A and B are shown apart, each in its own frame.
Chain A
Amino acid sequence: MFYVSVFFQYMAQYMKTKLQYRADLFVEFLSDLMFQSVNLIFILVVFGHTTLLHGWARDEMIFIYGFFLVPFALFGAFFNIWDFNERYIVRGEMDRVLTRPVHSLFQIILERMELESLVGGVTGMIIMGYASARLHLEFHWYDFFLFLLFALGGMLVYAGVFISLATISFWSDARSSIMPMMYNISNYGRYPIDIYNRVIRYILTWILPFAFVGVYPSAYFLGKKEWYGYAFLTPVIGLVFFMIAVMLWNKGVKRYRGAGN
C-alpha cells in the first residue's frame, strides 16, 4: 500500500512540474508522433509494391506496429534507465537512492518517470483501431483483459532486458554502448518473426524475447491460430525476464560500493 501511495504522489509531482512548461510538452508530443509515423509510412509505401509479406497483409503489419507501441510506451514511461550508469553509478547518486525507504529499483523508477511517453500508447491504440476496422476483426469481452495482460507482459520483457543490462554497471562502471545496441535489436520485434532466419527467430523468442512485444501477442488478436501458443506465453516470458532482472539487481546492489562523493 505504501508503494502505491508513494507512486501516485511522485506521479502528481511529476505532472505539476511538466505542466509548468506546456509549450515544451506540446513540442515533445508532436515530435514523438512524427517519429512514430516514420515506420507507418515505411509500411504504407512498401505495400504499394507488394500485397503480402510472408503471408502478412498490410493492415496486419500496421496492427502489429500499433500493438508494439503500447508496451513500448509503458516501458518508456516507467523504465527510464538508459543513463543509469552515468547518472547513478558514476556520479554516486546511488548512495542517495539506497537511503530511501523503498526498494532501490522502485525508487529509480519513481525518479525517472516520463509520463508523456504514454501518448505513444494512445497513438498505438488509434493505429490498432484503424487496422482492425479495415480487417473487420471481432473482439470478445475478455479480449480487453488479454490486451492489458499482453501489453504488460511486453512491457516486462523490455524492462527485464534493459534492467539486466543496467545491472552490468554494478560490476563494471566503464561506459558501454550496449544499451543503444539493444535498442536497435529490439526494433526487430516490430516485424513478423517469420521473415528472419532460424537463428534470429530463436534469439528473438528465447534469449532477447522482443518478439513477445509485437508479433506474438498481436497474432492472437489477428486470429493467427498457429501462433496462439506463443501469444499466451507473453505474460509468462515477461514475468520470468523481469524476475531475473530483479534478482540480478539485488545481487548487484549488494556489490555496490559508492563512487564519487
Chain B
Amino acid sequence: MDKYFEMIRIRFLMMLAYRTNYYTGILIYCINIGAYYFLWSAIYNGKSAIQGMSIEQMTTYVAVSWMARAFYFNNIDREIAMEIKEGKVAVELIRPYSYLGMKTMQGLGEGVFRLFFLSFPGLIITSLLFPLHFSSDIRTWGYFALSIMLSFVINSQLNLLAGVVTFFTLNNEGLLRAKRFVIDLFSGLILPISFYPHWAQEVMKYFPFQAISYIPSMIFTESFRGQAVINGLLFQLVWSIILLFPLQLLWKVAKKRLVVQGG
C-alpha cells in the first residue's frame, strides 16, 4: 500500500515542479466556461427553467463540470500506448507492483494536484465572473466528493481498458480518439444528459459514460435531490465494479500475448 501512496506523492511533486503551466490552464477553463455561459444565457433567454434546471443551475453545472474534469481527467491511456510502443512496458512488468494499479495511482496524483492548483482557484475565479450558486447544505458537498471519486475510478478504468487494447493492436490511435469523442459527448460535459431526446437518454442508461460528469454535476447543482442522488451514486458504484471484470480479463490475456517492440 505504501508504495502506491508514494507514487501518488511523486506524481504530485512532479506536477508541482511545472505548476506555472496551470495558471494558463485556469484561464483556458474560464474561457470555455464563458463561451458556454453566453450560449446558455441566449438559449434560456427569459425562460425560467429548461428540463427542471434554472439558468443559475445551468451556469453552475457548466463551471463545476469543467472543474471536476480537471480532477478525473488523465492521459493514462496514452501513456500505456506510448510505453508499449517504446517497449518500456517490459521493464514495468517485472517490477514488484501491479502495472495497472501503478498507472491509476499516477493518474490520482495528477488529479489531486489539479484539484488543488486548478479546480479550487478556478472555481473561485469563475464564481466572481459568473453568477454561480453553491449549496449551503454540507451533505451535498459530501455526496459530490464521493461522486467525483467514483468519476475518477470509472474514467480511469475506461482509460486503462483503452490502453490495454494497445497490447493487441499495437497502434490504436483511432480507438483512443473515438473514446475521447464518446466521453466528450455522452459524459454530460457539454450537455446535461437530461437535454438529449428521450430515446437517447434511454440508450445511455446502459452505458457508464454519464457516471463521469453528469451525475456529480447534477448532485452539485442540486438538480438531483433525495432518492435521485442515491440512485446516481449507486449507478456509479455498480459501474465501477462491473468495469473491473473486462479489465482483469483483458489484462490477463494481454500479458500472455505481449510482444515487446524494441525496448
The chain A residues found within 8 Å of chain B, CB to CB, are 24, 27, 30-31, 34-35, 38, 41-42, 45-46, 48-50, 52-54, 176-178, 180-181, 184-185, 187-188, 191-192, 195-197, 200
Contacts and interface: CB of A to CB of B under 8 A. Distances in A.
B50 interface: yes
Nearest to A39: B190
A53 B185 contact: no
A46 B32 CA distance: 17
Given A31-B178, A38-B185, A191-B38, 17 more contacts: A24-B173, A31-B174, A31-B177, A41-B185, A42-B191, A46-B39, A53-B42, A180-B24, A180-B28, A181-B24, A181-B27, A181-B31, A184-B31, A191-B39, A195-B38, A195-B42, A197-B38
Contacts of B27: 181
Interface residues of B, number: 30
Contacts of A46: 39, 43, 191, 195
Contacts of A53: 42-43, 45
Contacts of B47: 50
Nearest to B173: A27
Tell me the dominant secondary structure on chain A's binding face: helix
Interface in B24-40: 24-25, 27-28, 31-32, 34-35, 38-39
A45 B39 contact: no
B45 A50 contact: yes
B184 interface: yes
27 contacts: A27-B173, A27-B174, A30-B174, A31-B178, A41-B185, A45-B191, A45-B196, A45-B197, A46-B191, A48-B195, A48-B197, A49-B50, A49-B51, A49-B195, A50-B45, A53-B43, A176-B24, A177-B28, A178-B24, A180-B24, A181-B27, A184-B32, A187-B32, A195-B41, A195-B42, A196-B38, A197-B38
Interface string B170-203: 0001100110010011000011000111000000
